[in-house]
Structure 1
Amino acid sequence: MRVLLTAVLSLCASSVPAHEARTGWRYDSYCCNGDGHSGDCQQIPSKSVSIIQGGYKVTLAPGDHRLATHAHIFHGPQDRARKSHDSEYHLCLFPDENTPRCFYAPDMGF
């Protein structure tokens, strides 16, 4: 019975969509409600991000993130940004397009 339960749990775990960026690294499970192709986390254009004193300003236009249907401006402190593993910016919007849940940024280099 234990072997069967283990096999069923393994099968279920393998069918869960990967919470991955396009380049293959995984978003933190807290941040991601889906995957890098249909979920709420995805890479955003670097032109959407400005480094400001103490953090970041993200200016999203429709099309910059699959959930953005209108313009948004988000501000976040540097110490709240998560480390991007591909030198790109990524944003997770959840539960709706008005709520940034997680922001991933490459090292600022200073």
Structure 2
Amino acid sequence: MTFTPSTASIVSFAVISAGLFTQSDAHQSRSAWPYPPWCCNGQDFGGDCEAIPKSQVRKGAGGFSVILHPGDHHLVTRNQLFLIPYGDEKPSGDGDFHICLQPTDDPNEADGIGRGGRYHMNCFFAPPDGV
């Protein structure tokens, strides 16, 4: 197989583009483990993931309850309650709890009330031992 200058240009462009898209979609926690891109649902659209205090997470009969107050997650500006059924949580990469929130105006998709509207919880990460 012979590479021509145009073939090399196409391959180079594809490799560089893949790297750019991977970097732009990647989002890391403060401890540097990567959140899956679909959890942030595009930081450019107002969604974001962040560690939350362990004290705000409780285990119940059917799953986790998370009560977030302003300051617990930078998107939260008033108290919010999220209910996460067991099995919907994802393993945490650093032993802390994390939640990924996405603004929505659709009350049918909302899990909690957020700044000027509602938030949908995209992902919830729990350490292996839970609480």
TM-score (norm 1): 0.82
- C-alpha contact (below 8 Å) 2:99/2:125 kept by paired residues: yes
2:39 to 1, 22, 31: 31
**% identical equivalent positions:** 35
Give me the whole-angstrom Cα distance separating, in 1, the residues matched to 2:35 and 2:19: 22
Change (3 A) 1:7 1:103: closer
**Counterpart in the other structure of 2:74:** 66
1:82 to 83, 90, 114: 90
Higher helix share: 2
**Counterpart in the other structure of 1:102:** 123
Point out where structure 1 has 5 or more consecutive residues left out of the alignment: none
Give me the whole-angstrom Cα distance separating, in 1, the residues matched to 2:102 and 2:123: 9
Pairs aligned (count): 107
Quote the RMSD (CA, aligned, Å): 2.4
- C-alpha contact (below 8 Å) 2:47/2:101 kept by paired residues: no
Higher strand share: 2
Shift of residue 44, structure 1, vs aligned partner: 0.6
TM-score (norm 2): 0.70
Give me the whole-angstrom Cα distance separating, in 2, the residues matched to 1:70 and 1:24: 28
Aligned ranges 1:2-41 → 2 under 5 Å: 2-4=7-9, 5-6=13-14, 8-10=16-18, 12-13=20-21, 16=24, 18-32=26-40, 33-34=42-43, 40-41=48-49
Give me the whole-angstrom Cα distance separating, in 1, the residues matched to 2:28 and 2:97: 14
Point out where structure 2 has 5 or more consecutive residues left out of the alignment: 1-5, 105-113
